[in-house]
Structures are given as structure tokens and as C-alpha cells.
């Protein structure tokens, strides 16, 4: 039996675990699921004959090194900042390793030793980062193989609610960490390239500078810019590219309404609101508006942000109950962002029968023999239920597939790496497609960066 150690059995591990246990007989695998909670691990293993649950405190060096020593390959699904000790042990004991997190500087620094020991530390092999790298590099490499030169790369990803469960005005529910959704776009100006020009969008304008995209039968979506577009120049070897843009997908109209929270200051996580525990939702909203006892909180907000009475934004705000004088915030020393998160959770939490949806779209513009072309590559994945979510599938399956292929020697180039090489992405994308994660490519006329599709 080949021994696979999975550290961290959170909700993104369900598909990963099922994939490996399903193949455990044919592939001769034994899977140890290690988590700080033994209950959680046992609950997942369900007495599968090729699975073992293990209680593991990763800060306990003895426990950790013992578990790693005993494995043939280690999968770390821990939070990103906790990978390093696992990585160092893997290096010491000569074990391959797989993670779905961004490569940290410290992880990268292990590359020389990892390569010298002929080991593979595969990172960024979840959804985003992960499937985005693989599906983009497949097209970029094919363009280059036929002699084309890349002009444009735009890439959008979003986690949404499936269309059949989409029943609020925002067309949005929390399918992942709500806190990250509230803080989205903060922490730095969004930077990208459009037709050779560097463009900068400050946070308070981010949600008013969306782009529109259409994804097959699923209709129109919008994307707002990520902070980090420029780093892909280097990662994908796009040094001379004219347009480089990465964005987050929402349903059309979400961002324009979200902008209300940004403008008011409700997404701020840097200070606490006075007496937040005892204030009502209405008090919370009013604390961002001028004092004026003669006007309603409603009218003050509409006037301040110039929202017409028949604007759909207004209905979206009302749907969240932001003016309710009876509902109490009930959080001590809370930041505006924490209060907003609580209020949104009441409206945006998935119902038991709700399914999530992952949407990804890349646009590739290139020139070949003096002519310009464009390829659009799209993927939509819908969750089966609230265990096998689209998020769990798209994050977990590439990790599981990569781990098995490393174990089987099909992926064998050593080093601390991400999945941008053909040897890695080709077989994994093939197997993802067999598991329903399918990219549809479409040739379109070259649009370049078409100003008509910019939204205000």
C-alpha cells in the first residue's frame, strides 16, 4: 500500500478524499486523514478500509514528524501560513508534497534543496490558484507552439450560487469565507495593463469599473479587477503582453450595489464602532450618515449616494434589512466589516438544498502571421450538494489527481513548483474533464481590449 497523508480535513477536502478513497483499491492506496479534530477526521473516513483518521496538532513536532515520516506523499490542506513546517519535514524525510496555496517566499526558498533531493513540492494546484494556471497555460502554450505571439490575457473566476438556487436580488450567496467577500478588493490599489498602458483603480472606485463577460448558456456576468494582475506577466512568461487583467466574477449589478457599502464605509475593518453590541441595524447605517433629525435614515442615504427611488440598488439594500430599528447588531467591539458580514449572512447563507457554482473564463488575444485572433475558454462547475460543492470539487480534485500522478511517477520533474508545465497540466486537465470540470474553447474575432464592453 502507498501511504497518502492528508493534513487538514476542512470543507474543501470532501472531493479530494472521495477521489482517493474511491481509487484506493485499484491504486493500492492507504489514506491517513489528519486533523486537529479527531471527530472530524473519523467522520470523514467513515471506517473505510483503506482510510485512517489521525488526531494531529501540527504545532506538535513529534506528532507531525512521525506522521510525515510514515507517509509516501503529503497533501497539506492547512491554511497557507501553516505549510512551512510541513514542507521542512517533507524535505528532511524525502517526501513529495502537494498544496493548493500560493507559493510563499519561504516555500520558494526551499527549491534548491528540494530539487537536489529529487522531490516535487507542487503548490497552487487548487482552483484559483490552480485550475486557472493549468487551463490558461494550455492555451498559451498551444498559441506559442504554432508561432503566435500573445497580445492579451484576461482571466476571471468567481464562486456564485447555482442558477436554480439563485433567489435573491443580489444573485449572490456566500459559498466560501464570508469575511473574504466583505474585505474583497482591500489592501492595495488594483493594477493592470490595457493595450500597453498601466491602469490603477483605488478601492473606492473598484466596484464601478467592472467589465462584462458572457459565458455560454449562463448569460452575462461582470468582473471587478483583482489587485495582482501584473504578477502573471512573470509567472506565465507574458513579458511583452499589451493587456493583462484578472478579475473576480459576480452576476451583473452586484458590484454597483456593493459599492454602496464601500462608499458608506461599511466594509472597513480597521476600527471598531462605538457600542456596536447594542446598536440596531438602523443605527449602524445611520452612523455613516450626517446628523439630521428632520430626515429619515433612508432619505439621507439615498441623497448622499444619489440613489434614485426606482433604482434596483435601492431594492437590494432594502432586501438586507439595513434600516431595521429592532434588530440588534449584538457584536461587542465590532468593526464595520464584521457587522456588515453578520447582516449579510442573514440574507446570503446557502439553504440546505442550495448548490454553488464556480465560473471561470479566460480570453487570449494573439497575433500569428500578421493576423490577430482571439480564443475564449470557459468553465462552469455546479455543486452536487453542500458536501460535494463546486468549490470542493474544483479545489480538491486537482490536488488529488496531482498527488496520485506524482505517486505514480507520471509527474516527475523535481522542484518547488506550480502547475504551469505541460507535463503537469495536460494529464490533470484531461482527468478533470472526465470528472465534469470541462473548459469550452471558442475562437472569436480579435476584439483586443474592446472599450464597448467597459462599464462606466
Total number of residues that touch a second copy (CB under 8 A): 41
d(CA 366, CA 238): 11
Interaction mask 426-455, a second copy, x per CB under 8 A: -----------------------x-x--x-
Shorter beta-carbon distance to a second copy: residue 235 or 305: 305
Residue 294 in the binding site for a second copy (CB under 8 A): yes
Q: How far is the CB of 202 from a second copy (least distance, A)?
A: 4
Select the span of 6-14, 62-70, 135-143, 285-293 touching a second copy (CB under 8 A): 285-293
d(CA 38, CA 36): 6
Shorter beta-carbon distance to a second copy: residue 276 or 417: 276
Q: How far is the CB of 267 from a second copy (least distance, A)?
A: 9
Residue 98 in the binding site for a second copy (CB under 8 A): no
d(CA 452, CA 456): 10
Shorter beta-carbon distance to a second copy: residue 116 or 204: 204
Residue 274 in the binding site for a second copy (CB under 8 A): yes
Q: How far is the CB of 317 from a second copy (least distance, A)?
A: 17
Q: How far is the CB of 259 from a second copy (least distance, A)?
A: 11
Decide if 281 contacts 297 (C-beta within 8 A): no
Residue 370 in the binding site for a second copy (CB under 8 A): no
Q: How far is the CB of 271 from a second copy (least distance, A)?
A: 6
Which one of residues 234, 291, 308, 326 is an interface residue with a second copy (CB under 8 A)? 291
CA distances from 18 to 9, 13, 393, 408 (A): 12, 9, 10, 18
Shorter beta-carbon distance to a second copy: residue 294 or 369: 294
Q: How far is the CB of 294 from a second copy (least distance, A)?
A: 7
Residue 396 in the binding site for a second copy (CB under 8 A): no
Residue 330 in the binding site for a second copy (CB under 8 A): no
Q: Report the site for a second copy in 148-207 (rule: CB under 8 A).
A: 188-189, 191, 194-195, 197-205
Residues 132/95/106/410 CA torsion (nearest 10 deg)? -30
Interaction mask 235-264, a second copy, x per CB under 8 A: ----------------------------xx
Which one of residues 26, 47, 270, 309 is an interface residue with a second copy (CB under 8 A)? 270
Shorter beta-carbon distance to a second copy: residue 19 or 261: 261
Q: How far is the CB of 449 from a second copy (least distance, A)?
A: 6
d(CA 75, CA 48): 19
Q: How far is the CB of 380 from a second copy (least distance, A)?
A: 28
Q: Can you tell me which residue has the cell 461587542?
A: 332
Residue 139 in the binding site for a second copy (CB under 8 A): no
Select the span of 71-79, 149-157, 272-280, 373-381 touching a second copy (CB under 8 A): 272-280
Query: Interface residues with a second copy (CB under 8 A)?
Result: 188-189, 191, 194-195, 197-205, 209, 263-265, 268, 270-271, 273-275, 286-295, 303-304, 336, 449, 451, 454, 456
Amino acid at each position: 500500500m502507498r501511504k497518502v497523508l492528508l493534513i487538514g480535513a476542512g470543507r474543501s477536502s470532501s472531493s479530494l478524499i472521495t477521489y482517493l478513497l474511491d481509487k484506493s483499491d485499484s491504486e493500492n492506496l492507504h489514506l491517513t486523514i489528519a486533523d486537529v479534530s479527531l471527530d472530524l477526521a473519523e467522520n470523514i473516513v467513515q471506517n473505510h478500509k483503506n482510510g485512517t483518521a489521525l488526531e494531529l496538532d501540527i504545532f506538535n513536532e513529534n506528532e507531525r514528524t512521525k506522521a510525515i515520516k510514515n507517509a509516501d506523499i503529503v497533501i497539506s490542506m492547512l491554511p497557507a501560513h501553516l505549510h512551512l513546517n510541513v514542507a521542512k519535514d517533507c524535505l528532511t524525510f524525502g517526501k513529495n508534497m502537494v498544496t493548493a496555496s500560493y507559493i510563499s517566499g519561504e516555500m520558494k526558498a526551499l527549491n534548491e534543496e528540494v530539487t537536489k533531493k529529487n522531490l516535487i513540492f507542487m503548490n497552487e494546484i487548487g482552483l484559483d490558484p490552480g485550475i486557472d494556471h493549468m487551463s490558461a497555460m494550455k492555451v498559451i502554450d498551444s498559441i506559442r507552439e504554432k508561432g503566435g505571439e500573445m497580445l492579451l490575457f484576461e482571466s476571471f473566476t468567481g464562486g456564485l450560487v447555482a442558477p436554480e438556487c439563485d433567489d435573491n436580488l443580489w444573485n449572490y450567496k456566500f459559498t466560501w469565507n464570508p469575511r473574504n467577500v466583505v474585505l474583497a478588493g482591500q489592501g492595495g490599489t488594483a493594477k493592470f495593463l490595457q493595450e500597453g498602458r498601466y491602469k490603477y483603480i483605488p478601492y473606492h472606485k473598484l466596484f464601478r469599473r467592472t467589465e462584462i463577460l458572457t459565458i455560454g448558456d449562463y448569460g452575462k456576468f461582470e468582473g471587478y479587477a483583482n489587485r495582482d494582475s501584473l504578477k502573471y506577466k512573470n509567472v506565465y512568461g507574458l513579458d511583452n503582453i499589451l493587456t493583462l487583467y484578472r478579475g473576480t466574477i459576480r452576476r451583473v449589478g452586484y458590484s454597483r450595489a456593493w459599492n454602496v457599502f464601500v462608499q458608506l464605509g461599511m466594509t472597513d475593518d480597521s476600527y471598531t464602532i462605538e457600542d456596536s453590541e447594542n446598536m440596531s441595524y438602523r443605527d449602524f447605517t445611520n452612523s455613516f450618515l450626517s446628523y439630521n433629525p428632520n430626515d429619515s435614515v433612508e432619505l439621507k442615504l439615498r441623497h448622499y449616494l444619489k440613489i434614485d427611488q426606482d433604482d434596483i440598488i435601492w431594492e437590494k439594500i432594502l432586501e438586507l434589512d439595513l434600516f431595521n430599528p429592532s434588530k440588534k447588531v449584538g457584536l461587542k467591539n465590532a468593526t464595520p466589516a464584521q457587522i456588515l458580514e453578520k447582516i449579510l449572512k442573514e440574507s446570503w447563507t446557502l439553504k440546505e438544498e442550495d448548490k454553488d457554482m464556480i465560473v471561470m473564463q479566460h480570453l487570449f488575444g494573439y497575433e500569428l502571421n500578421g493576423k490577430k485572433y482571439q480564443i475564449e475558454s470557459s468553465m462552469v462547475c455546479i455543486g452536487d450538494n453542500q458536501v460535494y460543492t463546486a468549490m470542493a470539487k474544483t479545489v480538491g480534485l486537482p490536488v488529488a489527481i496531482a498527488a496520485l500522478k506524482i505517486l505514480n511517477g507520471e509527474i516527475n520533474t523535481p522542484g518547488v513548483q506550480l502547475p504551469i508545465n505541460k507535463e503537469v497540466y495536460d494529464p490533470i486537465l484531461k482527468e478533470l474533464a472526465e470528472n465534469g470540470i470541462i473548459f469550452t474553447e471558442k475562437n472569436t474575432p480579435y476584439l483586443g481590449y474592446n472599450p464597448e464592453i467597459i462599464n462606466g
